[in-house]
Chain A
Amino acid sequence: ASLTRSGGAGGLAQWVLVELQGEVEPRQSGELAGSLLGDLHYTHEGIPVLIVGHHILYGKVVQLEKPFAVLVKRGAGEPSPTGPHTCYTVTALIKTKLLFKTRPKPIITNVPKKV
């Protein structure tokens, strides 16, 4: 299989990794696609703050010692006698992660607020 670069001229896209404890589950059972995760803010000191559902998560920005490449698989599930024909495209590099390790603080709402 080959890992080819996408996006010929110009640099590879830089993405960011967000690391959370636990599992990601959609609020409504049903598709994940399109559903909201939450709002991401940064304090003036650069601390990331993530509001997910009824929780506030505080994290930190980490420069990765070993960056990641994001691979997108193409042509999956093609059996071949001469070897794997799966093609992976390197779509982006990740050099930074937002690590949320602290216990989430629950947001207590008594009265639902109207926007």
Chain B
Amino acid sequence: GAMRSRAEVDATLRTAKLNPAELLPVAHCLSFGPQAGAGECCLLQLEPGLCAELEAGRSLVIRGEKDEQAVLCSKDKTYDMKIADTSNMLLFIPGCKTPEQLKADQASCNVIHSQIAGFSNNYWELRRCRPKLKKLRKLLMEDPYEGPDSRKDQTLTFSKYTTEDLLSLIQASEEEILHQLQVIDACKIEGFWRILEFDYEMKLLNHVTQLIDSESWSLSKVPLRTCLEELGSLEPREMIEHTLLSYGRKYIDDAGEVYFEMHEDKICRAIAQMLLQNAVKFNLSEFHEVWQQSVPEGMTTRLDQLKGLALVDKSSRPETIFLLKVEDLPEDNQERFNSLFSIREKWTEEDITPYIQDLCAEKQTVGALLTKYARSSMQNGVKVYNSRRPIS
């Protein structure tokens, strides 16, 4: 169709009784572009930092299967996506200039024809959220690695995941996923991420701790080279090194030799898990005894090493302890609290904190969570929390 001329624009100004002298000389004629009504364009409102990421050339990814709520991921953050409706009409226009741009521009034309690319009365809104990482452990637990002697590995090939697989299945950013893989001590075997089957992991740890004991090494100076030499005939070298990396802190001395400072707390905790998972509950004082006897020479067991792993029942006579792993509990806030309150009716803040700490959003405190999802009362002079609603 014919485009409006300056003369037509001026005629409209006269009809509208507007004084051209009060206006900038350049006018835009806005018309709807060929795809404007097709609805293929939509708007995404950007949280701070995301605009800069896009301008720097980085991509954003939307992740979510059909049964999941979509999330948006940058390189290192995850956001919930929600549609926000406005009562107004939003038109998006390429090539439309602002007054500042027009004043700065010394172009000679006095009519700019701008085509409206699309319009909408809603947009995607983002809210930073916790990465949805529970699925990561679930996927890797489908086929835990049981060691090179296990015949399982030759037959099962579908339950193994590469980094790319995980990126497409987990609703989290790449950095959050890679960080979590480190946290759960996953390792890459033949290009696939694997979690070690617990018994195999304990077998490896036992080799290492027995060697430390027989060599009388200091727990803070365990040599990698000797471990590989002595244990390499029993287990794959990569697995020995993985165990040292999981249960120790790697460092290099002045001579360039690699050593590990063993994590006493983590080793004691793993051994406790090994003891506890074979019983529904343990008599607490018996457990203390067996546990201390089971850990390597020079290590001291303490109950606070078991936060988020086990719970002491102080109301039973005698007192007992049982396994309760935070990673086995629901990921959703309300479901987590429901689950905790069905296990125990009233919790002290000290007991419940390790089981809700991971729910805290950026800058949110455990106290804020308790205020929102629990009701407090006093019991024997101690503040306890219980459910806000009746638990079926």
A interface with B by C-beta (< 8 Å): 1-5, 11-13, 15-24, 26, 31-44, 46, 48-51, 56, 61, 66-73, 76, 82-84, 88, 90-96, 107, 109, 113, 115
Contact = CB atoms under 8 A, between A and B. Distances in A.
Nearest to A10: B57
A81 B8 CA distance: 55
Interface of B: 1, 4, 7-9, 11-18, 22-24, 27-37, 40-48, 50-51, 54-55, 57-66, 72, 86-100, 102, 114, 116-119, 123-124, 168-169
A37 B54 contact: no
Given A19-B88, A24-B91, A92-B94, A39 B51 contact: no
Contacts of A109: 15
B32 A37 contact: yes
A98 B62 CA distance: 29
A22 B50 CA distance: 30
A106 to B, nearest CB: 10
Contacts of A32: 32, 36-37
B61 A2 contact: yes
Given A3-B62, A17-B90, A42-B102, A66 B46 contact: yes
Nearest to B38: A33
B46 A69 contact: yes
Contact of A115 (B11, B31, B63, B88): B11
A63 B72 CA distance: 24
Main secondary structure of the interface of A (DSSP, over half): strand
A46 B103 CA distance: 10
Contacts of B40: 72-73, 76
Nearest to B112: A40
A56 B23 CA distance: 14
A73 B118 CA distance: 12
In the A-B complex, list the 4 residue pairs whose CB atoms are closest, starting with the nearest: A46-B99, A40-B28, A16-B96, A3-B60
B66 to A, nearest CB: 8
Main secondary structure of the interface of B (DSSP, over half): mixed
Contacts of A92: 92, 94
Nearest to B68: A83
Contacts of A34: 1, 31-32, 34
A44 B22 contact: yes
A5 B1 CA distance: 32
A40 B93 CA distance: 12
A31 B37 contact: yes
Nearest to B17: A107
A72 B241 CA distance: 48
A97 B17 CA distance: 26
A93 to B, nearest CB: 6
Given A1-B61, A84-B64, A107-B15, A68 B7 contact: no
Contacts of B48: 66
A96 B90 CA distance: 12
Given A41-B18, A93-B51, A109-B15, A33 B60 contact: no
Contacts of B46: 66-69
B30 A40 contact: yes
A67 B43 CA distance: 10
B90 to A, nearest CB: 6
B27 A69 contact: no
Contact of A38 (B22, B30, B51, B168): B30
A62 to B, nearest CB: 11
B22 A37 contact: no
A20 B24 contact: no
Given A34-B32, A107-B16, A3 B55 contact: no
A70 B33 contact: no
